Structure 1
């Protein structure tokens, strides 16, 4: 493990290095060898916190909750602010420090495992993109705090198996939050909330791309491109999924016929509606209703 900082801990902060014997177990355990923590901590208003690593032999995540800091990579500096996450892959020399005037408050995790690089790739961490502006998220903070609880069970392997899989959940949650961060960043010139509100309001009828693009004050081509950049899907695909979500709700809470539900979500052809429903849900509308009533097996 890369050497953690020797910053003197105040009472409100914590630092924990996973015992070497436990790390050895985690590195070979079927449920954890892909990804596991080897050191973690929480530094509150870390005045004078600084670190220089010319050799970095694991993976490091730093989540800034408050204040500011600075990251230096290959003589290039990056200002870190609240809501930013730093990911530093193995082999990347680096230096970082808390701001003198407004020192940062951070969670940090050193981690390793056979799939560490896969997670770094999944999060699109690459050269010149080691800082992800994510924003402050209560659930992410709560999960990081739960992860820190493993320090209270330093000799309980099952606690660290749980911690390793919680770390996996944290990283995949960050991947889910990234499109939202991009949406917020682009909010000044692309009101995604307005687009989605329009889709919700017209889920009972048809809505074409021309209308959506006009609402966004963009050409159809640029609207589709921008929407996909922010959401990872196309506007029409999202609109169809909204319709099917609405159809599922109607199947759950009403006794309307399939034809009536088809019409209620904007499809005049019930056969076509059933095809779309099955393509998305994996079962037909009638099978979905029977499953809710317990007359169709859930394991489809």
Structure 2
């Protein structure tokens, strides 16, 4: 394992490669080549070269890379590396852009500190645990571009939580749109593009899902269930229920017996 800072002229070629190699580039760039295919390695990229893959990599002359690197092997290595949430390139290596993450660099620094410790069993166990943590963290992290798209999209989890907390009452489109700082028009358009339905339809679906749960698990009267999910008029509730489920609440309950 190691750390190279502004490694101008750094180059390595291996025709025989009998372990796994991971490189995390935190500055600059380089190039990796294997099986006749080449890819740029840029700041924020994690490169994993599997065992048995002949390869060559070089640091850029114009913008030399700064990298953490570690060689490793073990019974679970293949499974961990295949879980990095990225497909293997045509060259046979894994390359994923995750951006700059202080927590990840901190884990690499902690791993490197093990080089200066006594080489006993506890150090090896700690090192292996740190490596598992790094590989799991890489799998968990999303590419910056994907995160940007998500930020531009809607926080559906928070929005649906808001709906869930208001199942016992009514909530209008103005309130839902205001919760995500959008106009009603843009809110409905963006929500439909993501989910295929409207926010109000989804709110109604959540109400009916709750009603089905109460019909399944309680002896409450239908008018009580209607009130529980925000409908004072039991007949109106039954019409909404039939529209969503295809049968009335009473028919739904009878089908359970």
After TM superposition, is the score higher than 0.5? Answer: yes
Query: 1:131 and 2:95 equivalent?
Result: yes
Larger radius of gyration: 2
Matching residue of 2:187:
215
Matching residue of 2:125:
161
Residue 143 of structure 1 aligns to a residue whose secondary structure is helix
CA offset digits 1:196-227 (Å, max 9, x no partner): 5962893543689x98996384574x5149xx
Partners of 1:145 and 1:105 lie apart in 2 by: 14
Residue 106 of structure 1 aligns to a residue whose secondary structure is strand
Query: 1:55 and 2:26 equivalent?
Result: no
Maintained 8 Å contact 2:10/2:59 = yes
Structure-1-length-normalised TM-score: 0.54
Residue 51 of structure 1 aligns to a residue whose secondary structure is strand
Maintained 8 Å contact 1:195/1:216 = no
2:81 counterpart (120, 137, 158): 120
Partners of 2:27 and 2:162 lie apart in 1 by: 41
Query: 1:183 and 2:146 equivalent?
Result: yes
Q: CA RMSD in A?
A: 3.5
- Which residues of 2 match residues 140-159 of structure 1 at below 5 A? 140-159=104-123
For residue 182 of structure 1, report the CA deviation from its aligned partner: 5.4
Maintained 8 Å contact 1:62/1:107 = yes
Moved more, 120-129 or 58-67: 120-129
Maintained 8 Å contact 2:30/2:60 = yes
Residue 202 of structure 1 aligns to a residue whose secondary structure is helix
Maintained 8 Å contact 1:195/1:215 = no
Q: For residues 70 and 156 of structure 1, do their structure 2 counterparts lie closer, same or farther at Cα, with a shift above 3 Å needed?
A: same
Q: For residues 80 and 185 of structure 1, do their structure 2 counterparts lie closer, same or farther at Cα, with a shift above 3 Å needed?
A: farther
- Which residues of 2 match residues 35-114 of structure 1 at below 5 A? 40-114=1-75
Maintained 8 Å contact 1:133/1:181 = yes
Q: For residues 50 and 185 of structure 1, do their structure 2 counterparts lie closer, same or farther at Cα, with a shift above 3 Å needed?
A: farther
Structure-2-length-normalised TM-score: 0.62
CA offset digits 1:57-94 (Å, max 9, x no partner): 11111000001111112222211111000011112221
- Which residues of 2 match residues 207-246 of structure 1 at below 5 A? 215=187, 217-218=189-190, 220=192, 223-224=194-195
Partners of 1:147 and 1:200 lie apart in 2 by: 40
Residue 56 of structure 1 aligns to a residue whose secondary structure is coil
Structure 2: any 5+ residue segments left out of the alignment? 197-201, 207-226, 230-257
